[in-house]
Structure 1
Amino acid sequence: MSVNSYLTTLSSELVLSTTENTNIKTSIATLSQRLNWHFNNGELHKHFQFGSNTRGTILPRRVDSESDVDYMVVFKNPNGYKPETLLKYLKDFMHKYYSKSEIYKDSPTMVLELNHIKFELVPAIQDMWGNLSIPSRTNFLSDWMSTDPTGFNQELVRANTNSNSKIKPAIRLLKYWNTNKLNYYYSSFLLEKYVVDNFSYPIRNSVKEYVFDCITSLNYNYTDSQSFKNKLDRAKQIINNTREYERQGYLVSAESEIKKLFPKF
């Protein structure tokens, strides 16, 4: 098997199973219904799913224990309450309908852990033009910061279409590498955005080329730990070794080498 065939096959195994996908859809429908029941006095503008699950880049929990579904709850908030108050509203909602589940705050979200998936509920507010804001992580200038939770989806769709459907598989592989080898060093969303922003053009011929070019382009900062620097250097060396084995026609050795970076699970 060629390295590209191995990586392409592995990426196809990094999608949600039918059962997992069905369970998540059922949980989202239940969550939506319960939010409508709980906030039934016109407190909300709307609520909806966003994030990697809507983009088809979420990883199964069997390879990413931190895999989650992002869900935004947009409050009307006529009294101008600060984020902490709206987070408490979500906390009270969770304790009412999910009392046996693990519930905790992870600013600026409330986290709900079910058996098969983790939800991150994000409180938001909306101005008269429909622009959304979520709690600021720093509170440096304001309690709120603007957001466009679904805007990146279209960027990714365009990039994936232009790449003949190679960018999404590459992203799943890179996220797998990030969780499996780098201990979540990179933000999942920022890693996706990095790929789209930097590798939409020129078009690569294979999933392998997107993955290899992305990893070899990454650099570390002076403040990064020596452990991370070593891991990134090793990843680049494995890619160089793999390319050299391929150049010499040693395809079995090339596949064996790349499995050090992207092992079967």
Structure 2
Amino acid sequence: MSVNSHLTNLASTLILSEEEKSSITTSINTLSLRLTLYFSTTVTSHFQFGSSTRGTILPRKADSHSDIDYMVVFNTSDGQRKPQTYLDRLRRFVEARYSTSEICQSHPTIVLSLNHINFELVPAIYNYGYQIPSPASYWLEWTSTDPSGNNKLLQDKNKDNSYQIKSLVRLIKYWNVRKGYPFTAFSLEQHIVNQSFWGCSTLKDYFYEFWSGFNCTYATAQYIKNMVENAKNHVRKAKEYEYTNMPVNAELEIKKIVPSL
């Protein structure tokens, strides 16, 4: 074994199984039909988006909080309402059509928990682009989002980097899960999409380069800074072991960051 083989093997396990994909597809088809019947013309469109459409979602065995993002775009021809109004409408829909499932609001979404996956139903409006409720900490009620644009950026980045980027994203998201979600999954994806990976060819190269270029901000909590620095130290030790022809020790250092699943 080696660092690269460990990372490659691990990344291959951090994908949805065919059974999971089938169950999710069935649930999405059911959700789509129920939304259409319930809302009729008060909703202009609804669709799956997020990491599950980008191929970077983690399976439940790696992330018990793994979920499917699903956008519900409301018709505003009779006037635009506040985000909470649309969240309340989604809650009533879920309570009416999924009465036995666990339901909660996790601003700015309604979380629908099914046996095999969670759905995060995101209310949206269309105003020269899609807008979704802003996080509670924002002063604006709505924030713009571009689901198809985000997907294309990741797809292009993946294609331009020997198709290693999606594997790298899943590895880093796995580390994030194990550390208790110190970063949002989307922010990690954005960092990777915007990071340069000159000279990288193997997944190991990309993994090492990620940690070399990943830094916390001044405002980041110290305990999170410590987590990041700890990972960087393991990478540095792994490189030292590789330099002195000790691949087993190098692999052990990397397994301290992302152990086998």
Q: Identify whether the pair has TM-score above 0.5, normalized to the shorter chain.
A: yes
Partner of 1:252: 248
Instruction: Please give the alpha-carbon distance, in whole angstroms, between the structure 1 residues aligned to 2:137 and 2:125.
Output: 16
Measure how far apart 1:203 and its partner are: 4.7
Whether the 8 Å CA contact 1:136–1:145 is kept in 2: the answer is yes
Partner of 2:106: 106
CA RMSD of aligned residues (A): 1.6
Q: Which SS does the other structure have where 2:70 is aligned?
A: strand
List per-residue Cα deviations over 1:157-204 (Å, max 9, x = no partner).
Answer: 111011111111011101001111x210111011001001113x5251
Q: Which SS does the other structure have where 2:245 is aligned?
A: coil
Partner of 2:61: 62
Report whether the alignment pairs 1:48 with 2:44.
no
User: Is there any run of 5+ residues in structure 2 with no aligned partner, and where?
Assistant: none
Report whether the alignment pairs 1:80 with 2:80.
yes
Instruction: Please give the alpha-carbon distance, in whole angstroms, between the structure 2 residues aligned to 1:225 and 1:136.
Output: 22
Instruction: Please give the alpha-carbon distance, in whole angstroms, between the structure 2 residues aligned to 1:136 and 1:235.
Output: 32
Count of residues in correspondence between the two structures: 260
Whether the 8 Å CA contact 1:163–1:203 is kept in 2: the answer is no
Instruction: Please give the alpha-carbon distance, in whole angstroms, between the structure 2 residues aligned to 1:229 and 1:85.
Output: 38
Amino acid at match of 1:220: C
Partner of 1:151: 149
Of 145-154 and 46-55, deviating more is 145-154
List per-residue Cα deviations over 1:80-123 (Å, max 9, x = no partner).
Answer: 22111111110000001111111111111111111111111111
TM superposition outliers: structure 1 runs of 4+ over 6 Å: none
Measure how far apart 1:222 and its partner are: 4.1
1:122-201 alignment, distance < 5 Å: 122-127=122-127, 129=128, 131-138=129-136, 142-180=140-178, 182-199=179-196, 201=197
Report whether the alignment pairs 1:232 with 2:228.
yes
1:15-34 alignment, distance < 5 Å: 15-34=15-34
Measure how far apart 1:219 and its partner are: 2.3
Instruction: Please give the alpha-carbon distance, in whole angstroms, between the structure 2 residues aligned to 1:81 and 1:242.
Output: 54
1:112-123 alignment, distance < 5 Å: 112-123=112-123
TM-score w.r.t. structure 1 length? 0.93
Of 103-112 and 221-230, deviating more is 221-230
Q: Which SS does the other structure have where 1:158 is aligned?
A: helix
List per-residue Cα deviations over 1:200-241 (Å, max 9, x = no partner).
Answer: x52511111111111232223444444323222211111011
Instruction: Please give the alpha-carbon distance, in whole angstroms, between the structure 2 residues aligned to 1:140 and 1:55.
Output: 26
TM-score w.r.t. structure 2 length? 0.95
Instruction: Please give the alpha-carbon distance, in whole angstroms, between the structure 1 residues aligned to 2:255 and 2:134.
Output: 40
